[in-house]
Structure 1
Amino acid sequence: MNNHLNLRLHHFGITADNLEETIHWYREKLGFTYDYTYKIEALKMKAAFMSLGDFRLEIFEVQNSQPMPAYRNDVAANIGVEGLNHVALAVADIEAAHRTLKDRGIEFVAEITEIPNSHGERYTFFKDNNGVLIELFQANPQNYKGANQ
């Protein structure tokens, strides 16, 4: 069905209170690479792109931005609100990744949990320095029925 469009995920965007602190957090905690920064004066905004393999993250710092509502920091409350609510990063070994990130000072907000009916897929959530929920996800490749179509 996707043959003509050739769609693929390019990036997610987040708004942060402090661009430089957030660039540093993603670099030091998750291993993202800084790509470049840009400004759009009319929007009173500066932003940066960072990369993790083929995945990119766009971070915005906007003058007079509003803090994220507290419910967005809670996994159960967040999924009860319509719209995009988190980004997931794939890992091969969720326990090893969990230990490494805890050693780097990451705050986890959920235990490692197996998804019912998933044949072993597991997840957990943590927060970045702005409170944005990020999921660690250990996939079962056998569940990807349409991956090469």
Structure 2
Amino acid sequence: MAEFTFHHGGVSVPSLAEAIDWYGRVLGFELEKRFYIEAAKSHTAMVRKGPLRFEIFEVEGAAALPEDRRHPPADLRTHGNKHVAFRVEDLEEFLKEMEQKQVDIAFVVREAFGKGCFIRDCAGNLIEFVEEPN
């Protein structure tokens, strides 16, 4: 089997400038590059935090995120890509930081199988953070 590694996740947003600011201010991503994709009519940016990357698209005439895609249990009822997930050392500390930054916390899970949360970016896209059991 061919070897491969993860390169990036992608999100579509209504405002590229607002998203670049949000991903930087809230999660510590830095702008790697900006470019235009003619075929998609997309003003695009790649942001990076260490080996992690997000590609952010502002597409001319794009539709808003449907309401049912903004809530994790409802989103699972629609086929397709759901979210990306990152590991955190301490979920409770991460949640405190997100609350201090006034981030939209969509869903928190504290179950025997594990702990995690979903936050919404500035466009409502879901991002998961999980604390793996020791």
TM-score normalised per structure 2: 0.93
| Equivalent residue letter for 2:82 | N
Note the C-alpha offset of 1:68. Answer: 1.0
Measure the CA separation in 2 of the matches of 1:103 and 1:35: 26
Residues of 2 paired with 1:6 and 1:43: CA distance?
A: 29
1:56 aligns with 2:53: yes
The residue matched to 2:80 in structure 1 has which SS? coil
The higher radius of gyration belongs to 1
Give the superposition deviation at 1:58. Answer: 0.1
What residue number does 1:123 align with? 116
Letter in 2 for 1:124: C
Task: Say which of 71, 85, 108 aligns to 1:88.
Answer: 85
**Residue-by-residue CA offset, 1:105-140 (whole Å, 9 max, x unaligned):** 1111223422x4x3xx31111111000011111113
Of residues 111, 126, 129 in structure 2, which corresponds to 1:136?
129
Residue aligning to 2:65: 68
CA–CA separation in structure 2 for the residues paired with 1:73 and 1:93: 24
Summarize deviations over 1:79-125 as a string: whole Å, max 9, x none: 111221111121011100110111011111223422x4x3xx31111
Corresponding position: 1:13 with 2:6: no
- State the Cα distance separating 1:37 from its structure 2 match: 0.1
Q: Is the CA contact 2:85–2:129 (under 8 Å) kept in the aligned structure 1?
A: yes
Shift of 1:18: 0.5
Name the count of aligned residue pairs.
134
Segments of 4+ moved more than 6 angstroms: none
Greater strand content: 2
For residue 108 of structure 1, what is the aligned residue in structure 2?
Answer: 105
Percent of aligned pairs with the same amino acid: 30
Counterpart code for 2:122: N
CA distance in 1, matches of 2:95, 2:122: 17
TM-score (norm. length: structure 1): 0.84
Residue of structure 2 equivalent to 1:145: none
CA RMSD of aligned residues (A): 1.4
